[in-house]
């Protein structure tokens, strides 16, 4: 069983949230901020990672994406970075293997990265229709999982690339089986890839 990391949210990150709150209130978007904050609070409360790891994962996603974007030869490639409990999932398309290797190295070098799972395709970028279809599948999968009791759908991340669906989260074996079955029931899903950690 993999350990579930937990702890307090770092001060710099809390300060960033406070700064965002002040900026929004000044600009008149206080109601939107409160609504968004409420939704985030609910997600964090239901998440098995704990608040500290939740925010660390989100910050690490941003930092790794920024590191990739700084590389001129790959900044315009289709690369998605998804992180759950320190496990980094790389998906998308890159036409050069050397660039894929660079992306993997950037992800591995980041502090807090426990494992990097590379699912980048050695290919050109998918078109907008393909990505729109992936978004549609993701939405349908999330709905299917949400209606499959007793799973708490907010505990499972869903990533779709070329109709291949990746499932991430800290789950029991029973929850994993239910989530996979729900995903397979969605029209258009080509393959289901489990990236779960079991508890």
CATH topology of domain 128-198: 3.30.1340
Terminal-residue alpha carbon distance, the chain: 6
pLDDT tens digits along 63-91: 999 999 999 999 889 999 999 999 999 99
Neighbouring C-beta atoms of residue 144, cutoff 10 Å: 19
**pLDDT above 50 for 3:** no
Kindly report which listed range (28-32, 67-71, 113-117, 142-146) carries the lowest average pLDDT score: 28-32
Q: What is the pLDDT of residue 33?
A: 44
Q: What is the pLDDT of residue 40?
A: 47
- Delimit the domains of the chain by residue range: 128-198
Using the structure block, give the residue that is written with the tokens 């700064």.
Answer: 19
Taking residues 47-73, what's their average pLDDT?
94
Q: What is the pLDDT of residue 43?
A: 62
The pair of three-digit structure tokens given for residue 109, joined into one six-digit string: 């070098």
Q: What is the pLDDT of residue 28?
A: 52
Taking residues 183-193, what's their average pLDDT?
98
Residue 60 and residue 62: Cα distance in Å, rounded? 5
């Amino acid at each position: 069983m993999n350990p579930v990391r937990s702890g307090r949210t770092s001060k710099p990150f809390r300060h960033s949230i406070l700064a965002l709150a002040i900026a929004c209130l000044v600009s008149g978007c206080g109601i939107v901020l409160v609504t968004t904050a409420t939704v985030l609070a609910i997600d964090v409360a239901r998440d098995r990672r704990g608040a500290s790891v939740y925010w660390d994962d989100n910050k690490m996603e941003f930092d790794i994406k920024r590191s990739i974007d700084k590389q001129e030869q790959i900044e315009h490639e289709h690369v998605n970075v998804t992180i759950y409990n320190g496990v980094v999932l790389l998906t998308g398309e890159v036409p050069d293997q050397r660039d894929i290797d660079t992306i993997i190295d950037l992800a591995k070098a980041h502090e807090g990265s426990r494992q990097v799972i590379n699912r980048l395709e050695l290919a050109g970028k998918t078109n907008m229709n393909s990505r729109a279809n992936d978004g549609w599948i993701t939405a349908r999968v999330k709905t299917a999982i949400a209606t499959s009791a007793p799973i708490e759908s907010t505990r499972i991340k869903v990533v779709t690339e070329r109709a291949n669906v990746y499932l991430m989260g800290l789950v029991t074996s029973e929850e994993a089986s239910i989530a996979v079955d729900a995903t397979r029931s969605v029209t258009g899903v080509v393959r289901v890839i489990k990236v779960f950690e079991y508890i």
